[in-house]
Structure formats: C-alpha cells, structure tokens
Amino acid sequence: MTDKKINGLVRSFLNCLIPIGLAFLIGAIVILAIGENPLEAYGILFKKSFFTPVGFQNTLHYAGPMILTGLAIAITFKANVYNMGVEGSLLIGAFSAGIVGAFLTGLPSIPTKLICFAVAIVFGVAYALIAAFLKVKFRADEMVVTMMMNYALAKVLEYLATSVFRDSGSGYVCTPMVSDAAMFNRIFGKSRLTAFFFVVVLLLVIMYIVMKKSKLGYEVTAMGLNPEFAEATGMSVGKKIVIIMMISGALAGIAGAGWMLEDQYRYTLTFSGNPGLGWDGMLIALMGGHNPIGILVAAIFYAGLKTGADSINMYTNIPKEIVALIQGLIVLFLAVKFISEKFALAKKAKAKKEA
C-alpha cells in the first residue's frame, strides 16, 4: 500500500473513532450527573449485545433493516441528494406489506412473502419518486419536500390504521396481524434472528457491486463531488437523481417489509421506534462513510447500542434515552472532519520510525 492509501485509511478510521469517543465521553458525564456509574452502564451495554451468543444474534437481527436504510441514505447522500424520505418509504413499505400479508391467504409461504415484498417495493419507490419528480422538474429542494412528506404520510397512515384497516379485536391502534405464511420464523429459537438477515446480506453485496464497481456508482460519486462538472461531461444528472431515488425507495421499502414480517407482524403507531429506522440509517451511512462495508460495520455497532439500550433500561436506573443522546452526539461530531486531508499521518509515523 502506498503512503497515500494508508493515510486515507487511518484518517477515515480516526475520523470515525474520535466522534464516537467524544459522544460516549459526554454521555458518561450526563450519567455521572444523575448519580449513576457510566462504566457499569457501558459495560452492560456492550457485554449484553456483543459478547453473548443470543445477544449478538439479536444485534444482527436489529442491524438487518438498518443496513438497508443505511444503504438507502448512502446512495443519495453520496450524490448530494438529501433524501430524508427513507423513513417514509420504510413506513409506507411496511404498512402495505403488513396489509397484504394480513389479507392475502391460501398461498404457500414463499410466494406470499414475495408478493409482500413486491408491494412494499412499489409503494416505497412511488413515494421516493414524488420527491425525485419535484426535484428534477420543479427544482424543489428535496430535503424540505421529503421532510414535509414524512409528516403528511405519518398522518395518513395513522388515519388508515385507526379506521379502515384497524384490527377491531385489539385494544390499541394497530392493523391485523400478518398471516403465518408471510412471517419469517426465528432460526435459532432463542434469538430473534430470521432468514431475512440473509436477504439483507445479499442486497448488501449487490449494493457493494453497484456502488463500487458499476458505472452508476462512479457517476454517483462524480455527482457528489461536482454536479455541474458531471452535467458538463454529458451525464444527465436529472435522470440519475430519479434512478438513485428509486433505488433508495426500494431499499427502504424492503427494509420496512422485512421489519414487518420478521419482528413487528402488524403496523402500530410506534412501528419504527423513536428515532425511526430511517433516521438510524442516516447515522449509519454517515458513520460508515457512505461505503457498503463501512455501513455493515456501523449498522452492527449501532444495533448493538439499540439492543444495549434495552439492557440499560432493564439492569440500571439510567433512562434509555441516554442512547438516543449519544446517537445525536455521534452525528454531530461526525459532521466535522477532525483530521484534515493535509495531515499526513503515514509520513509522520515513518519519520518517527527512522528517527
């Protein structure tokens, strides 16, 4: 490896590690302030989610949809298209898959699941296309549009879940449970891990090839670096925006359908958690540097935090919101490059060795 490559690797590693360290440090101060022991809390957090077999399988289970939303965010953010609608695509995909899964009966397991996923993809893509269309044809800022759409969609789904598709047999607002044929079963019984995780891994490999080896991936990078230049070289930037928004919507739709069929089984008003899986995906994409391998590592790390949040809640007196706070702080510090590109690490290390 050349000096330049080593520099790049070390730099991106440190630029990821410093924010995480700072965020945990501030989290520790907050935990101390309410009179609890931060080391104990962090110990429980990491031990339960990474160093027990069942815990680690659960972590992988939580990581599944987040890997997909992370990829969905990465492919748009990398091209400087700020698609905040991943959360919306995920919800609309999940809702539609949940309804189809509940009312479609009489088919064997695999066709049922395929139909559920197909419907979720159609809705997820259609939702993302609205923003893409407004961006390309009207030049409306996609970030504001997708934000507004998320709020509108949440209201629409709330209405549908409380009236048209409400499960009248249930005491709280939710849609009917999906049929057994649509559900993913747990592989190991004890942990929550299901076969959907292998679907996720497959999609991750495909996205790796798309982003790293294909022409589209190269074009996305070019758009991110300089859209005017990309356009000047003869690329149709508008067309590319539509394509990446469709990919993003499809990935988010699959993530939603998967989460529906493997974990939630019905749409509730807290389906995606708080903050939602789409927002988690944003943190993961940032942490992973918009790189598929980075996203895999970041998603597992972050899913560990999520599993750990429940453990913290169970075994200590610390509110699990502390994890949401740490998450926000990580994003905040990730926005800044602590170690700039001019900082030649490898050269310094070499100079030290020679001296």
Partner 1 sequence: MLHLIESILYDCVYHSAPIILCVLGGMFAYKANVLNIALEGMMLNGAFVSILTYHLTQNMLLTLLLTVVSTMLYGLIFSYLGVTMKGNVIIIGLAINMITTAVAGFVLVVMKSANIILQNFDLNALKINIPVIEDIPVLGAILSGHPPITYFSLAMIFLMYVLMYHTKFGIYVRVVGESEEAAKSIGLRTDFYKYAAVLIGAVGCALGGMNLSLERLGLFTNDMVAGRGFIAVAAIYCGQGRPVQSAFYAILFGLSRALAINLSVYAGNAAGLFDCIPYILMIAILAIASYSKRKNIKVRGF
Which residues would be at the binding site for partner 1 (CB under 8 A)? 30, 34, 82, 134-135, 137-141, 143-145, 147-149, 151-153, 155-156, 158-159, 162-163, 227-228, 231-232, 237-238, 241, 275, 279, 282, 286, 319, 321-322, 324-325, 327-329, 331-332, 334-337
Nearer to partner 1 by Cβ, of 3 and 158: the residue is 158
Nearer to partner 1 by Cβ, of 209 and 232: the residue is 232
Nearer to partner 1 by Cβ, of 81 and 257: the residue is 81
Nearer to partner 1 by Cβ, of 10 and 30: the residue is 30
Query: How near is the Cβ of 260 to partner 1 at its closest, in Å?
Result: 22
Structure tokens at 146: 């997708």
Q: How far apart are CA 65 and CA 69, in angstroms?
A: 6
Nearer to partner 1 by Cβ, of 40 and 107: the residue is 40
Q: Which amino acid is at 125?
A: V
Query: How near is the Cβ of 346 to partner 1 at its closest, in Å?
Result: 24
Query: How near is the Cβ of 227 to partner 1 at its closest, in Å?
Result: 5
Query: How near is the Cβ of 264 to partner 1 at its closest, in Å?
Result: 20
Query: How near is the Cβ of 17 to partner 1 at its closest, in Å?
Result: 17
Enumerate helices (H) and strands (E) in the chain, giving the number of each.
Answer: 14, 0
Nearer to partner 1 by Cβ, of 149 and 260: the residue is 149
Could you tell me if residue 80 is left (phi over 0), alpha (psi between -120 and 50 degrees) or otherwise beta? Answer: left
Q: How far apart are CA 14 and CA 140, in angstroms?
A: 37
Query: How near is the Cβ of 27 to partner 1 at its closest, in Å?
Result: 10
Residue 169: exposed, middle, or buried by beta-carbon count in 10 A (0-12, 13-18, 19+)?
exposed
Query: For the residues of 13-54, what is the DSSP string, one character each?
Result: HHHHHHHHHHHHHHHHHHHHHTT--HHHHHHHHHHHHHSSHH
Summarize the chain as % helix, strand, coil (round to 5): 75, 0, 25
Nearer to partner 1 by Cβ, of 325 and 349: the residue is 325
Instruction: Reply yes or no: is the peptide bond before residue 275 cis, omega within 30 of 0.
Output: yes
Which residues lie below 8 Å from residue 56, measured CB to CB, with a gap of 6+?
A: 49, 50
Nearer to partner 1 by Cβ, of 144 and 351: the residue is 144
Nearer to partner 1 by Cβ, of 109 and 316: the residue is 316
Query: How near is the Cβ of 186 to partner 1 at its closest, in Å?
Result: 31
Query: How near is the Cβ of 308 to partner 1 at its closest, in Å?
Result: 15
For residues 227-258, b (16+ Cβ closer than 10 Å) or e, as one string? beebeeeebebeebbbbbbbbbbbbbbbbbbb
Query: How near is the Cβ of 217 to partner 1 at its closest, in Å?
Result: 19
Which residues lie below 8 Å from residue 209, measured CB to CB, with a gap of 6+?
A: none
Which residues lie below 8 Å from residue 5, measured CB to CB, with a gap of 6+?
A: none
Residue 116: exposed, middle, or buried by beta-carbon count in 10 A (0-12, 13-18, 19+)?
buried
Query: How near is the Cβ of 351 to partner 1 at its closest, in Å?
Result: 27
Backbone angles phi, psi at 188, to 5 degrees: -100, 5
Q: How far apart are CA 186 and CA 43, in angstroms?
A: 28
Nearer to partner 1 by Cβ, of 2 and 274: the residue is 274
